[in-house]
Amino acid sequence: MAAFSRVEEAVRADARGALKATGRQAGLGELYDAHAAAAYRLLLAMLGSPAEAQDALSEVFLAVARRDLRRLRSPRAYLLAAARHQAILMMRRRRREIPTDPADPRFFDPAALDPDQALLARQVESALRELPPEQREVIVLKVYEELTFAEIARLTRTRPNTVASRYRYAVEKLRSRLKEEGT
């Protein structure tokens, strides 16, 4: 009888797990809707490949799903830090740089670009690719996620002065590159 009660308990635990999983899925869905775009933008800027960025985003969210979502104090900061960490891991694992076509915009959405913006988007994308990853991530976090230097420093575990100088170098390179192109 003890054996049967143990099995029954295991089946009940499985049912409780299924209920918990449904709740977790709802929480994860909300988290995804709110922050996946930001995490994907950072991954795309760092990795340069949509396929790799999608794999990395999956890994990040599957790792987040194993955590207690209610305990995340700042989900956005946590997700951006996790995405950055995953991108660094994947870049280390790479044996070679993924070749990218400068005429094929990946960071910007080609379907949503006006014809006037298309040229600028290609030039910005090409200029972004020439930046080192640490400058690229600062540009994305500052320009698109609108984080302060102090927040970026906390996220990247560097000093605010280092972040500010990375930003300065990146902006100067971007500006000179766009001036060269005449845009």
Report, in Å, the least distance between residue 29 CB and another protein: 6
CB 96 within 8 A of CB 104: no
- Judged by CB under 8 A, which stretch of 76-84, 94-102, 155-163, 169-177 contacts another protein? 169-177
Report, in Å, the least distance between residue 81 CB and another protein: 18
Encoded one letter per residue, x for contact with another protein by CB under 8 A and - for no contact, window 70-109 reads ------------------------------------xxxx
Report, in Å, the least distance between residue 73 CB and another protein: 21
Question: DSSP characters for 1-67?
Answer: -HHHHHHHHHHHHHHHHHHHHHHHHHHHHHHHHHHHHHHHHHHHHHH--HHHHHHHHHHHHHHHHTS
**CA 183/CA 171 separation, integer angstroms:** 15
Report, in Å, the least distance between residue 149 CB and another protein: 10
> With the CA atoms of 118, 105, 54 and 95 taken in that order, what torsion angle do they form, in degrees rounded to the nearest 10?
-160
Burial class (CB within 10 angstroms; exposed 0-12, middle 13-18, buried 19+) of 133: middle
Residues that bind another protein (CB under 8 A): 3, 6-7, 10-11, 13-14, 17-18, 20-22, 24-25, 28-29, 32-33, 36-37, 40-41, 44, 50, 53-54, 57-58, 61-62, 65-66, 106-110, 112-113, 117, 120-121, 124, 139, 142-144, 171, 174-175, 178
